[in-house]
């Protein structure tokens, strides 16, 4: 038995996920973040980025309809429409427009393939977040919510400021379910400011 597998078996949230029938321990991260910040609105529609194997989609589907996207395949979940696509591709917004209008939240637990070079991995993490934010800007309703995982590092403060310009409330948060040695942090953003909609309102 490898050390990684042994530590995983001993991990509380891994064991609890198995017990609860969750597909990943990350389900508890979303539960904890939602319980604190109320990211998911009952009866809402949500886009889940980097969704496979479906840990976050399982939780979001308890509240409403989910459009889940990942390069990796994902088994079917009730109330979840799955697209096996690249969230960084040029045509992802076009493909999403074909199946969904405005949504209540965009959530992303997307992570780069870890290379072991932290500077590179952190930059890739920010790149995924940039693409998640682009999708959020396109599809969020006025006042909608955004949640994304990012690795802390050189590019993190600049991205955080970018998010702050687009939402009324933005807070970095580390849920208890995150591993202690992890450098991941979640950006919780509520109250999307749709500048295009505000501009139209002012014109009228």
The catalytic residues are 149
- How far apart (Å, rounded) are the C-alpha atoms in residues 92 and 29? 26
Q: Rounded to an integer, what is the distance from CA 26 to the centroid of its chain? A: 11
* Among candidate residues 149, 144, 146, the one with its CA nearest the CA of residue 173: 149
Angle, helices 3-10/12-20, rounded to nearest 10 degrees: 70
Task: Tell me the CA distances in angstroms from 33 to 7, 11, 44, 106, one per residue in order.
Answer: 24, 20, 17, 14
Angle, helices 12-20/27-37, rounded to nearest 10 degrees: 90
């Amino acid at each position: 038995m490898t050390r990684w597998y042994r530590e995983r078996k001993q991990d509380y949230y891994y064991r609890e996920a198995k017990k609860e029938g969750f597909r990943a321990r990350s389900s508890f991260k979303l539960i904890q973040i939602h319980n604190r910040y109320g990211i998911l609105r009952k009866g809402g529609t949500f886009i889940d980025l980097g969704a496979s194997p479906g840990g976050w989609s399982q939780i979001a589907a308890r509240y409403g309809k989910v459009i889940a996207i990942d390069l990796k395949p994902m088994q079917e979940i009730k109330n979840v429409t799955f697209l096996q696509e690249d969230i960084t591709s040029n045509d992802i917004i076009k493909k999403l427009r074909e199946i969904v209008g405005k949504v209540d939240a965009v959530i992303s637990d997307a992570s780069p393939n870890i290379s072991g070079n932290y500077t590179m991995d952190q930059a890739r993490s920010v790149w995924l977040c940039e693409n998640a934010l682009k999708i959020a800007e396109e599809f969020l309703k006025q006042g909608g919510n955004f949640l994304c995982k990012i690795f802390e590092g050189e590019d993190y403060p600049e991205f955080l400021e970018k998010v702050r310009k687009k939402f009324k409330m933005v807070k970095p948060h580390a849920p208890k379910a995150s591993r202690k040695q992890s450098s991941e942090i979640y950006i919780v953003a509520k109250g999307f400011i749709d500048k295009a909609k505000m501009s139209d309102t002012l014109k009228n």
